[in-house]
Amino acid sequence: MNIKKYLNFIKIEHTVFDLPFAYAGMLLANYFNLKIIILLGIASTAARISGMVINRIVDLPLDKENPRTQKRELVTGEISLMNAWLIFFISTIIFIISSFLLNFLAFIFSPILILLFYLYPFTKRYKIISHIFLGFSIGIIVIGGYIGSRGIFPTNALIWLLTISVSFWISSFDIIYQNQDRDFDKDHGIKSIPVLYPNRVKEFVFIFYLISIVFLSIFYYLINLLYLLFIIPIAFLYFYRIKYINKKDVDFIFKFDIPIPFIILSSLIIKFI
């Protein structure tokens, strides 16, 4: 078995990238121990793998036609469709079991998150919705971290502010990501922002970034006025990369995203620990 091939298939770097949001929710719940930390890590990782794999499975017919995705493992046959479904079911079961071991509400909540991941590929046929839908599907991990820790539904405004901020930030990256397939998507009925507004991609990304920064600023303001200083590096990473849209590949632009979840998580560790 080629481990590297499977790690690339599930996009392990995206999984690690999302993990801090679950722990941010946990810290905001201000209730955790070693058991919760471990189970939350397992649940978040398994959920993200499930989401990535089901997206690959549903998008397989399009990936076979898209020149950019024709080297993906599922398209080339390096990973069979049966193995992909196996990975999906195993990761989903691990996610649901670990959620159950956290608490009952997390267990009830778990199928909803998997359903969101499953529905995302189908939203691409509807105008603009897919970007926001994917953003919320990832942003909701903050709420999942809170529920996994506390076992109650969040009423804390901080949780919702961070969830909205993360959702719009991820949505903006999805716009950038789909921009590279603009011509292909146009021919195949995908109604993304790059297809509908090809000359205004940077404007939409800027607006989504701005919304994200506004909610994150309110989030930090409610924690402590000094915490607004964390906005400076995050805003820089947001807006500086806009100039690279249409000039650099997505992998290059993604490098600007990598520090952001860890900056947010670090700020909360300083606050709550």
How much is the pLDDT for 142? Answer: 96
Amino acid letter for position 102? L
Task: Tell me what percent of the residues of the chain surpass a pLDDT of 90.
Answer: 60
pLDDT digits (tens, 9 = 90+) for 6-16: 777 777 777 77
**Pair 239, 206: CB distance under 8 Å:** yes
For residue 70, the model assigns a pLDDT of 86
Instruction: Write the pLDDT tens digit of every residue in 190-202.
Output: 888 999 999 999 9
| Predicted local confidence at residue 170, as pLDDT | 93
Q: Which of 166, 111, 108 is nearest to 140 (CA)?
A: 166
CA atoms within 13 A on the CB side of 165: 24
Say how many CA atoms lie within 13 Å of 91 toward its Cβ. Answer: 23
* pTM attached to this predicted model: 0.92
The whole-number pLDDT of residue 168 equals: 96
Task: Please give the average per-residue pLDDT across 67-84, as a whole number.
Answer: 88
Average pLDDT over residues 157-166: 97
Question: Given the structure tokens 């955790």, which residue do they identify?
Answer: 32
Residue with tokens 């990256």: 173
Considering only residues 208 and 130, tell me which one the structure prediction assigns the higher pLDDT: 208
Contacts of 114 (CB under 8 A, 6+ apart): 47, 50, 51, 54, 92, 95
Average pLDDT over residues 90-105: 96
pLDDT in tens, 211-226: 999 999 999 999 999 9
User: pLDDT grade, residue 5 (50/70/90)?
Assistant: confident
Question: Of the candidates 146, 258, 165, 139, which has an alpha carbon nearest to the alpha carbon of residue 220?
Answer: 165
pLDDT of residue 9: 79
Do residues 29 and 270 touch, judged by C-beta distance below 8 A?
no
pLDDT band, very low/low/confident/very high, at 1 (cuts 50, 70, 90): low
Q: Quick one: average pLDDT of 176-188?
A: 87
- Residue 255 confidence (pLDDT): 84
Give the per-residue pLDDT at 191: 86
The phi-psi region of residue 33 (left if phi > 0; otherwise alpha if psi is between -120 and 50; otherwise beta) is beta
Q: What is the dihedral of CA 70, 73, 76, 82, to 10 degrees?
A: -130
Split at pLDDT 50, 70, 90, the class of 244 is: confident
Q: What is the mean pLDDT of the chain?
A: 90
In terms of Cβ atoms closer than 10 Å to its own Cβ (0-12, 13-18, 19+), residue 147 is buried
